Structure 1
Amino acid sequence: MHDAVLSGRQPPAQPRDVVGRSWSRLQADGVSPDRCENVVLADYAEVEARRTRTALRSVRPELRNTLTQVAEDANFIVVIADADGVVLWREGSRGVRKAADALGFMEGARWSEGSVGTNSIGTALVEDAPVQLFSAEHYARSHRGWSCTGSPVHDPRSGEVLGVVDISGSAMSVHPTTVALVQTAVRLAEATLWQEHAINLEKLRGHAAPVLGATAGPALVVDRHGWVADARGLAVPDRLAPPCLGEPLLVPGLGLCVPEPLGDGWLLRRGGRPSTIGVELDLGEDPRVTVRGDTSWTRALSPRHAQILRVLTETSSAGIDAPSLSVALFGDRDHVAAVRAEISRLRKSLGPVLSAHPYRFADGVDVHIVGRGEFRNPGV
């Protein structure tokens, strides 16, 4: 099946959807199954730097307790990779680790889909979903003796993908129930991250109490992800858009605020008169958006970003989640990762105009559309 699909011949059976999508991406990028065997290996200093930066370091003990002994008993290895697919830690069966070394599947290896082909780490990152692969479903011919199961780990505070937890072994060693095992470990790790988040919010709340008590008028304190630690004089949602130094943030009930650093978070209070934001969305031949508040500015929009904003204007105030937006943009739910990437770029460009979880225009933003009839859909 593998060779038939890649050569354009009719295969005896079609690959599973997740495998077919991965192979199609790699073929479209001109990646050959043989080139996938040239593994990019980071040096020790880079691996250590990545370990220090990642939030996965705090949940590694949880993952080890859940998976490592099982891995050793069942003759496979447990791998933790970061959001770039770089292997940070690897434990488990000595024999399997030795076999993995022969592939270059070791700490520091970049196991992204674009680097080594279809695999449960890189493909799970692209799909943003658990992936299990058996034998010849791998793109690289040298990986056909392996089976692997990977699941993304998300930061519950921001929703971003932190990396992937993977179990790998010989083609005969990984059972379909391994998916449930890995997902259980990931859920426990994410629960631990959420507990850490609650503890940090409580610390920030205590640190901010004297400042809020001495502040005249309504104010609130949020952490660096936008989660509200405490608020005085106004009702706010649990989370706002993450503040950035020097960039105004629209706060319901306050208007535009300039974030002030406070401990490990931000103090938000009214700096002047209450402000509202008006958005003029031009969906004509040259899409652009104009934002008017205390100041006004205009940004050109790519056809895709214009299409996203049009969908958001047609969505209720409750917003729209990534899978539903994928359907609206592409006609299916298979482009969630692409949707999240585009929304991230759009939010960086428009700042407080957009909110996430779910995606929508922020409260208090007044949107006016012009040129709707001339807008050109970018297509899939």
Structure 2
Amino acid sequence: QPRALVRRSWDRMLRLGLDPDGANARIVADEAELETRRRKSRLRLVVEEMRSVLLRAPDAAPFILVVTDADGVILWRDGAASARRQADELGFVEGAHWSEAKVGTNAIGTALTEEAPVQLFSAEHFEASQHPWYCSAVPVHDPHDGTLLGVVDISGPAMTLHPAVQSLVTTAVRLAEARLMIAQQEALNTLRDRMSAMLAGTSGPALVVDDAGWVAYQQGVRSRDRIEAPAADRSILIPGAGLCLPEKVTGGWLLRPTGDRRASVTLRMRQDPPVLDIHSGTDPLVVPLTPRRAQILAAVTSAGSAGISASDLSQRLYGDGDHVVTVRAEVSRLRRSVGALLATRPYRWAEGVDARVE
């Protein structure tokens, strides 16, 4: 009988209709897409350190080191020349999509699906072509917010598996996560020092954040440690400052008020599709809404300053309290459009927002 982890994965593969005899097509990103994914990955900051830890003598052990992004795309691959040649024959190359949905049960794809360390040996792989291999994979998470960044994997010929391999990969990942935390703090300190000097002679509210929305410096405003990730074409509501238009600076964003410190929103339910008009002393922003998202905002508006819980919102939208996960996912997607105008825990309009429904 297969292990429970393997059985769960095989069940997923059968539902997907994958072929265990290896007729599943390999999808490989082109060079441009691969480079774009590498630039966007925070793992680029630690890949060399992982190489130094896991591949001190690349040809001394017959295995390869693989680092993927959260989609299972192989960003970097290095290691013993003999193992690399065998991996080439399998399509286990840089740029390859190595998720479960593409190549069946494998340590990388299964670790991404389970968000847990996975070691697979030989015939535990779904594809017969992968049976000559072992794979030990450990997910890497952002140490600040827990976001899944990708997977670190060691793979090699099945008969060369050493009992310490999984522990070695786990240790390397923990070191990488610690290094990512240090790197982010160093970057925030650099951004704070530079921007605080630039803003020293100015008055008025200002907030400086990195590209992910982590706060490096604030002047005349009260903010949490993190706001939504800024984008050049979308205003963000900052308590005490009102709607702010992000301005790109080296290493992050500068946010300053665009006008009135209060914002007003009008939910126009009768339009097709419904829209949300946002005013704050400048030209209004118009956000198109799906009917479901309009219903959510209508419920939030009717709840007033007391707000509405995910359970109560589920009851209102679906007639029961069993859709809390669905509600949270929908609100999360909605906040990508309206940002910090919509507060959470409970769901409500943020301080300084006047809301009405028409």
Tell me whether the two structures share a fold, i.e. TM-score over 0.5.
Answer: yes
From 300, 309, 314, the equivalent of 2:309 is 314
The 3-state SS of whatever aligns with 2:14 is helix
From 300, 319, 329, the equivalent of 2:325 is 329
The 3-state SS of whatever aligns with 1:217 is coil
Equivalent pair of 2:206/2:255 in contact (CA under 8 Å): yes
1:83 and 2:76 matched: no
Show the counterpart of 2:289. 299
Show the counterpart of 1:348. 336
From 79, 91, 94, the equivalent of 1:107 is 94
Cα separation, partners in 2 of 1:49 and 1:246, compared to 1, 3 Å: closer
The one-letter amino acid of 1:351's match is: G
CA distance in 1, matches of 2:135, 2:348: 40
CA distance in 2, matches of 1:73, 1:288: 63
From 147, 152, 156, the equivalent of 2:139 is 152
The one-letter amino acid of 1:352's match is: A
CA distance in 1, matches of 2:248, 2:342: 22
Q: Per-residue deviation at 1:164? A: 1.6
CA distance in 1, matches of 2:18, 2:255: 49
The 3-state SS of whatever aligns with 2:173 is helix
Cα separation, partners in 2 of 1:367 and 1:154, compared to 1, 3 Å: farther
From 244, 249, 261, the equivalent of 1:262 is 249
Show the counterpart of 1:196. 183
> Please, which runs of 5 or more residues in structure 2 have no aligned partner?
301-306, 312-321
1:26 and 2:13 matched: yes
1:55 and 2:42 matched: yes
Report the TM-score, using the length of structure 1 for normalisation. 0.71
CA distance in 2, matches of 1:186, 1:345: 30
Show the counterpart of 2:129. 142
Equivalent pair of 1:204/1:265 in contact (CA under 8 Å): yes
Cα separation, partners in 2 of 1:369 and 1:261, compared to 1, 3 Å: closer
Equivalent pair of 1:208/1:262 in contact (CA under 8 Å): no
The 3-state SS of whatever aligns with 2:216 is strand
Alignment length (residue pairs):
332
CA distance in 2, matches of 1:49, 1:272: 36
1:228 and 2:228 matched: no
User: RMSD of aligned C-alpha atoms?
Assistant: 4.0
Show the counterpart of 1:241. 228
Equivalent pair of 2:340/2:350 in contact (CA under 8 Å): no
The one-letter amino acid of 2:229's match is: P
Equivalent pair of 1:279/1:366 in contact (CA under 8 Å): no
Report the TM-score, using the length of structure 2 for normalisation. 0.75
Q: Per-residue deviation at 1:219? A: 1.9
1:30-49 pair list within 5 angstroms: 30-35=17-22, 37-44=24-31, 46-49=33-36
> Please, which runs of 5 or more residues in structure 1 have no aligned partner?
1-12, 317-325, 331-338, 371-380
CA distance in 2, matches of 1:268, 1:55: 24
Equivalent pair of 1:154/1:163 in contact (CA under 8 Å): yes
The 3-state SS of whatever aligns with 1:107 is coil
Equivalent pair of 1:277/1:364 in contact (CA under 8 Å): no
Show the counterpart of 1:183. 170
1:98 and 2:93 matched: no
1:128 and 2:115 matched: yes
The 3-state SS of whatever aligns with 1:101 is helix
Q: Per-residue deviation at 1:297? A: 5.1
Show the counterpart of 2:319. none
Structure 1, residues 216-274: CA drift from partner, whole Å, max 9, x if none? 22222112211111112233211111111131211122222222233332222222222
- When structure 1 is superposed on structure 2, of 73-82 and 54-63 the one drifting more is 73-82
Show the counterpart of 1:174. 161
Show the counterpart of 1:251. 238
Equivalent pair of 1:241/1:355 in contact (CA under 8 Å): no
- When structure 1 is superposed on structure 2, of 119-128 and 152-161 the one drifting more is 152-161
% of aligned pairs identical? 44
Structure 1, residues 149-207: CA drift from partner, whole Å, max 9, x if none? 11222344665433221011233443565333222212222222222222222222232
Cα separation, partners in 2 of 1:197 and 1:132, compared to 1, 3 Å: same
Cα separation, partners in 2 of 1:36 and 1:293, compared to 1, 3 Å: farther
Q: Per-residue deviation at 1:116? A: 0.9
